[in-house]
Amino acid sequence: VIQAVFFGICVLTDLSSLLTKGNDSQEQERQLKKLISLRDWMMAVLAFPIGVFVVTMFWSIYIYDRELVYPKLLDNFIPAWLNHGMHTTVLPFILIEMRTTHHQYPSRSCGLAAVCTFAVGYILWMCWIHHVTGVWVYPLLEHLSPGVKVIFFAAVTVIINVFYLMGEVLNSYIWDTQK
């Protein structure tokens, strides 16, 4: 969902940019700048770190033991192409986006705070789902003791923050005007 919303905003930004070219409306220019800021923020805080995390985490666990993250039973309901759409194509598309469009990253402290807020919110959502249904969203969590879950959730949050920093560095490397 994050990727779909992000790329939808990218298309909207590109269309708005094309439609306002040559137009002297300061209001349209101001609205376009807001849209570009939203696109850049979503890329930095959500699309890149969460996208890279999903691909690396999903396929690492899948290779180790697919039943922990994507039970074979799901093959009856979710075709392989859709599985790859959710867990594979995210990475090449986000890298292409990073290479073709310069994104302005927020300050490091604001970016990391936003990434942590999202991670904690998602973890709380997973715990709420478990509380209400008695089932963990990801089968892996059923195999972890409560103490290990806390360590796992903390490690996941740290990893997502590392991916945020990696995105910031990669964006700077690609778009460094000093080169």
Q: Which residues contact 80 (CB under 8 A, 6 or more apart)?
A: none
Q: What is the pLDDT of residues 30-41, one digit of tens each?
A: 899 999 999 999
Question: Which pLDDT value is given to residue 177?
Answer: 61
Q: What is the pLDDT of residues 81-111, one digit of tens each?
A: 999 988 999 999 999 999 999 999 999 999 9
Res. 8: pLDDT tops 90: yes
Q: How many CB atoms lie within 10 A of CB 147?
A: 8
Query: How many structural domains does the chain have?
Result: 1
Supply 123's token pair. Answer: 């973890």
Amino acid at 177: T
CA 105 to chain centre: 14
Supply the range of the domain harboring residue 154: 1-177
The rounded distance, in Å, linking the Cα atoms of 160 and 115 is: 7
Supply 75's token pair. Answer: 């093959």
Supply 124's token pair. Answer: 């709380």
Cα first-last separation, the chain: 36
* Exposed/middle/buried for residue 52 (C-beta within 10 Å: 0-12, 13-18, 19+): buried
